Amino acid sequence: MVGVKNNRRAQYTQRVIQETVLSLLENQPITAISVTAVCELADVNRTTFYRYYTDVYDCVASIEKAFVASLQPFQESTPSKALEHLLTAFYRDKKLSNLVFVEGKTKVLDRMQELMNQSGSRPPEITAYQGAYIGAGIQSVLKTWVKGGMVESPHEMTQIIIDTILARNLDNLRTTPL
């Protein structure tokens, strides 16, 4: 129905614009993407673009916000379940995953870190320094996973990350003298 906010046509148009912006981000930095280029590729009028977004940065922020909002069920979850939930979300949206971990062109990781900190999914035994170290390590592992084509399932990656954090395969080094 025309005139109704967030009707199916409006949602479709926003999705087309967002997908176009993500496609353009695969080949160029956000600073090089113009509203004109987005409109031409998305086959929408500039007025239509500006009905939903103030600029390309606003569109990217909208994509990030929607993605982070889809991650909300962190509450009442164990750290491993929260991690698997996160990996599953990235697994489902491979284009966004590629931009986040390979290109580093969005602020999704910062927003996700804030969400995880707010949810209290970090065990109290882990200090802020340990949390920063583990977070950076997880990001590196995820980047490797995404660059490798996400061959492992989110469940397998969760186990790999937990084993890595706990250094399970390095137990013999703890008892071997240097």
Q: What is the DSSP string of the chain?
A: -TTSTT-HHHHHHHHHHHHHHHHHHTTS-GGG--HHHHHHHHT--HHHHHHH-SSHHHHHHHHHHHHHHTT-TTTT--HHHHHHHHHHHHHH-HHHHHIIIII--SSHHHHHHHHHHHHT-S-TTS-HHHHHHHHHHHHHHHHHHHHTT--S-HHHHHHHHHHHHTTGGGHHHHHS--
Listed range (91-105, 129-143, 154-168) with the worst mean pLDDT: 91-105
pLDDT of 152 over the 90 cut: yes
> Residue 47: its pLDDT value, please?
95
Please compute the mean of the pLDDT values over residues 29-48 and round it to a whole number.
93
Please compute the mean of the pLDDT values over residues 63-87 and round it to a whole number.
74
Of 154, 118, 127, give the one whose Cα is nearest residue 138: 154
Would you place residue 56 in the very low, low, confident or very high pLDDT band (cuts 50, 70, 90)?
Answer: very high
Domains and CATH numbers, the chain: 8-62 (1.10.10.60), 70-173 (no CATH)
Please compute the mean of the pLDDT values over residues 124-137 and round it to a whole number.
78
Would you place residue 1 in the very low, low, confident or very high pLDDT band (cuts 50, 70, 90)?
Answer: very low
Listed range (89-98, 99-108, 125-134) with the worst mean pLDDT: 99-108
What is the percent of the chain with per-residue pLDDT over 70, rounded to a whole number? Answer: 73
> Residue 43: its pLDDT value, please?
95
